[in-house]
Structure 1
Amino acid sequence: MMNLQAKPVITVFEHSPDEGKGMARDMRVRWALEEVGQRYDVRPVSFASMKEAAHRSHQPFGQIPTYEDGDLILFESGAIVLHIANHHTGLLPQDADARARATSWVFAALSTIEPPIVEREVVEYCEREESWFEQRMSSVDDRLRNRLKDLSHRLGEADWLDGAFSVGDLMTIDVLRRLAGSGLLEEFANLLTYVARGEARPAFKRAFNAQLACFNAASTDCNQSPIANHKESMK
């Protein structure tokens, strides 16, 4: 039997390399917790401590985030977000078939959409000085455009991917946010507004502000979720 404590704890970067832009993978976990109204704490970890045995016992690859809830310890943001969605209302439909479709979009976001985005980031930051950089980047962008074209076609004029907002939208939008500044998302107007629609959700704003406060070290409450004092009903 899972022993659920009052507030789960997630690990986050002590000093996020994204400079507070909310691109680290703890953002999607924070967002999911805010959407379902679950309070949480965070434990910042340094790059050095992430590689030590204590952290690796929770995350064998020395990454973030991890999720601790009583005796339950999880790693991989997709698994964590699905766990949250399955144990709280608000991110998965009641209908079994619709729940399965929402889950498939989580896997599509992580397995089909995110890999070429990450590849693009690696090329941009690690291969820029190579003589073949422009050709390599062009090839990666073309493959990524194909993915975005398919996604754009599937979304069409709908607000969300499959009816009401779900965990599938949360994960897909968070993945697409990594394209900020690339100019690629702007080629697909419906995807651009889709991301903006997700970022306009109150739960997203709370999650974003919480991670930014931790980055700026401007709040003594950065180890607590903003929902702790949130009085409005969840939307």
Structure 2
Amino acid sequence: MPVTDQADIVITAFDWVPDFARGFVRDLRPRWACEELGLDYAEHLISAMERPADHYRLQPWGQVPVLRDGEVTIFESGAILLHLAEKDERLMPADPQRRANAIAWVFAALNSVEPMMFELGNVDIFAKDEEWAKLRRPGLIDFIRTRLTRLSDALGEKDYLLDDFSVADIAMATVLREGVEAGLVAEFPHLSAYLDRCTARPAFTRALEAQLASLRLNPVAA
């Protein structure tokens, strides 16, 4: 199990989140990348309720994850994924075009798909009783379906976005998981099978278990 007390790689994560967020916080992404590459990492857990002042110097909005890799500190899960992927061709192909494709798909996952999933979470969870959310949801669902249709067409019959598993699949699979509860991914057989294939990987299972194990059941009282 790559989670250790001491390691060159340290992932900052929350020590508690609400039930709906358990297993979905973005520190899952670097955990998964480390598990795929067999990289030992340590956890630095902080309170989501009372975020330390010094954390804002590392992450301007107080979010997670933040990664420290030796002398390098980096925030934003996509940037962290690319940093880790550069360590090994198992996540980042050496071929220039395939490398470009992997990078492009990471950006596509986080810029072309995830914002709509994030908005759906806002509509369905945080603002579900608001009139504007009820009015917004049908159009939002249609727009997400359009994006997923294009994604499904691009994936086609391939096992993974680049045929072989790469950092692009860590980004895209974690985004697609956000649409499972709404039933959207199930509408697209290729995407549903792709997501099942990604999340069946032992490295994903270990990363998910590690995140869940790090989370308290209740927040620490302020």
Tell me which residue corresponds to 2:109.
109
| Ranges in structure 2 where 5+ consecutive residues have no aligned partner | 1-5, 218-222
Q: What is the identity, as a one-letter code, of the residue corresponding to 1:83?
A: H
Aligned residue in 1 for 2:168: 168
* Residue-by-residue CA offset, 1:105-164 (whole Å, 9 max, x unaligned): 000000001000001111112322223433211111111111101001111111111221
1:7 aligned to 2:8? yes
The amino acid that maps onto 1:94 is A
1:27-42 alignment runs, 5 A limit: 27-42=28-43
Q: TM-score, length-normalised on structure 1?
A: 0.85
Aligned to 1:123: 123
Gaps of 5+ in 1: 218-235
What letter matches 1:29 in structure 2? P
| Corresponding residue number in structure 2 for 1:233 | none
Deviation beyond 6 Å, 4+ runs, structure 1:
none
Return closer, same or farther for 1:20/1:143 CA change in 2, 3 Å cut-off.
closer
> What's the counterpart of residue 140 of structure 1?
140
Q: How does 1:39-50 map to 2 (within 5 A)?
A: 39-50=40-51
Counterpart for residue 195 of structure 1 = 195
3-state SS of paired residue (1:12): strand
Structure 2 partner of 1:222: none
Percent identical residues: 44
Deviation at 1:190, TM superposition (A): 0.9
Q: Distance in 1 between matches of 2:91 and 2:162?
A: 12
Question: 1:77 matched to which residue of 2?
Answer: 77
139-148 or 124-133, which deviates more: 124-133
Normalized against structure 2, the TM-score is what? 0.90
Task: Name the structure 1 match of 2:3.
Answer: none
The Cα of 1:49 is off from its aligned counterpart by: 3.8
Secondary structure of the equivalent of 1:11? strand
Closer/same/farther in 2, CA of residues 48 and 126 from structure 1, 3 Å limit: closer
Deviation at 1:205, TM superposition (A): 1.0
2:212 aligned with 1:212:
yes
* Aligned length in residues: 212
Give the whole-Å Cα distance in 1 for the aligned partners of 2:22 and 2:178: 10
C-alpha RMSD of the superposition: 1.7
- Is the 8 Å Cα contact of residues 8 and 70 (structure 1) preserved in structure 2? yes
Task: Between 121-130 and 194-203, report the one with greater CA deviation.
Answer: 121-130
Which string of whole-angstrom CA distances, capped at 9 and with x for unpartnered residues, describes residues 44-91 of structure 1?
1102442x4210111111100000122211100000010000123310
One-letter amino acid of the structure 1 residue matched with residue 27 of structure 2: D
1:172 positional shift: 0.4
Deviates more, 1:130-139 or 1:105-114: 130-139
Q: 3-state SS of the aligned residue for 2:86?
A: helix
CA–CA separation in structure 1 for the residues paired with 2:80 and 2:138 = 34
Aligned equivalents of 1:131 and 1:170: distance in 2?
Answer: 35
Tell me the CA shift for residue 175 of structure 1. 0.6
Tell me the amino acid that sits aligned with residue 181 of structure 1: E
Q: Secondary structure at the match of 1:87?
A: coil
- The more displaced of 143-152 and 130-139 is 130-139
Provide the rounded CA distance (Å) in 2 between the counterparts of 1:134 and 1:117: 16
